[in-house]
Amino acid sequence: MNVADIAKHRFVSQQFAGTDFKTASELVSWLGAVQGQEYAQSKWGLGLRLPHLTDAEIEQDFTDGTLLRTHMLRPTWHVVAAPDIRWMLQLTAPRVHVASGFMYRKLELDTSLFNRCNDLMIRELEGGKHLTRDTLNQAFKRNGIDISGFRLSYVMMNAELEGLICSGARQGNQFTYALLDERVAPTPTFTKEEALAELARRYFTSRGPATLADFATWSGLTLTDCRKGVQFLDTFLKKFGDYYFTDVAQPAKPDLDRIHLLPVYDEFIMGYKDRSASMIFRNGLPQTTISFDNLIMADGQIIGAWKRNVSSKTIEVTPNFFESLTDSQRNALTTSIQHLQRFTGRPVTCRSSSRNDLEHKE
């Protein structure tokens, strides 16, 4: 197995080469969790892997509560399937609290204030209500709790990490919160050892081949705990050098005739500490020039980047490829643009960039 093979294995593991999953919640459960602070683009990341779904259909999953958006793993938003939220919070929330400790102290947030806010949120949300952050903040103010800006953000994140609240149905374009115990039916409890093994199983099944360092970076857990999780799967995982993986069937031929317009923070990038296996540039472009912006991927390799400009009615896409496109790749780009248009239900135009001579419009 060489470096390029690692990227192709990941391409298959992450369901880009085809999938048997029918629903977004099935896919997210397979992946464990999906980074989700860029909400619209997170939905597109699921749509890339499930091309039969639309943005509206995935949005309905969030409305119904089969998918939830909350803080876990690392101090940022993640999308998780509802049955997984409790055990995953119990395993990873302590580490997020540790990572957030400096900001808790800097913002003068202590246990007493967190408890006052949590008690008030329970009173405001109980009975199945879904309320926006601004609405909850008004309730804080009425009860003599004056928090704003980052203080409010960390108060809400703390309540999520404690398993008190989670995402509710959106009100227009505004996000809401609901009580987790009213939103999600009771689920089986895991011991820490069981949770470590389960998270490791899902990670290496859906993202392998990957290293312990990759798993630790993605999960936010210590290397010690990640190593324990892998040890629990000793007979399940295979090993090549520092990489752990499961058996993955490779496509019959390279998937060069498909181009994937990755969303920002896609799991194909954020799922690893070392991303070099997908960044083998024939033109010698150094890896350090690549950020976490929207990237373009084909057959497991990053071949460019793209920008999108979203208006109320249309989306404009500007791709920038590292090398000139072949005729096959131009056709593949057209197919990708058409997919984005079907997914969003909006007209999508593709304009030329300085690095290529595309003249394409949908």
**83: in domain:** yes
**176 and 131 in contact (C-beta within 8 Å)?**
yes
pLDDT at 2: 81
Give the number of domains in the chain.
2
Same domain, 12 and 155: yes
Distance CA 322, CA 301 (A): 12
Same domain, 27 and 112: yes
- Strand-pair category, 348-350 with 315-321: parallel
Same domain, 174 and 281: no
Distance CA 37, CA 61 (A): 17
Question: Going by C-beta distance under 8 Å and a sequence separation of 6 or more, which residues neighbour residue 186?
Answer: none
Q: Which tens digit of pLDDT belongs to each residue from 323-362? A: 888 888 899 999 999 999 999 999 999 987 544 444 333 3
Q: Which tens digit of pLDDT belongs to each residue from 84-125? A: 999 999 999 999 999 999 999 999 999 999 999 999 999 999
Distance CA 285, CA 300 (A): 17
- The type of residue at 179 is L
Tell me what the mean pLDDT of segment 258-263 comes to.
94
Same domain, 151 and 276: no
**328: in domain:** yes
Same domain, 32 and 118: yes
Q: Which tens digit of pLDDT belongs to each residue from 275-311? A: 999 987 655 554 444 555 799 999 899 999 999 999 8
Residue 9 scores a pLDDT above 50: yes
Distance CA 154, CA 137 (A): 13
**200: in domain:** no
The CATH number of residue 166's host domain is 1.10.10.10
Global pTM exceeds 0.85 = yes
**227: in domain:** no
Question: Going by C-beta distance under 8 Å and a sequence separation of 6 or more, which residues neighbour residue 361?
Answer: 349, 350
Same domain, 166 and 285: no
**Three-state SS at 79:** strand
Same domain, 140 and 281: no
Residue 51: both structure tokens together? 């091309």
pLDDT at 281: 65
**104 and 112 in contact (C-beta within 8 Å)?**
no
pLDDT at 315: 95
The domain boundary residue, chosen from 154, 183, 212? 183
pLDDT at 112: 97
Question: Going by C-beta distance under 8 Å and a sequence separation of 6 or more, which residues neighbour residue 183?
Answer: 65, 68, 82, 166, 168
Tell me what the mean pLDDT of segment 192-215 comes to.
97
Query: What is the residue whose two structure tokens read 């990670």?
Result: 203
Question: Could you tell me what percent of the chain has a pLDDT over 90?
Answer: 83
Same domain, 12 and 139: yes
Question: Could you tell me what percent of the chain has a pLDDT over 70?
Answer: 91
**159 and 121 in contact (C-beta within 8 Å)?**
yes
Whole-number average pLDDT of the chain: 91
**Three-state SS at 265:** coil
Question: Which residue range(s) make up the domain with 176?
Answer: 3-183
The domain boundary residue, chosen from 127, 156, 183? 183
Same domain, 164 and 275: no
**336: in domain:** yes
**166: in domain:** yes
**203 and 29 in contact (C-beta within 8 Å)?**
no
Q: Which tens digit of pLDDT belongs to each residue from 154-178? A: 999 999 999 999 999 999 999 999 9
**303 and 296 in contact (C-beta within 8 Å)?**
yes
**233: in domain:** no
Q: Which tens digit of pLDDT belongs to each residue from 34-43? A: 999 999 999 9
**Helices in 126-191 by DSSP H: which ranges?**
133-142, 149-161, 180-183
pLDDT at 166: 98
Residue 283: both structure tokens together? 């033109």
Same domain, 128 and 31: yes
**193: in domain:** no
Q: Which tens digit of pLDDT belongs to each residue from 27-60? A: 999 999 999 999 999 999 999 999 999 999 999 9
Same domain, 13 and 148: yes
Residue 153: both structure tokens together? 């953000």
**157 and 71 in contact (C-beta within 8 Å)?**
yes
CB atoms < 10 A from the CB of 205, how many? 19
CA 75: distance to chain centroid? 13
The domain boundary residue, chosen from 183, 208, 233? 183
Same domain, 166 and 47: yes
In DSSP notation, 15-67 reads TTT-----SHHHHHHHHS-EE-SSHHHHHHHHHHH-TT--HHHHHHHHHHTSE
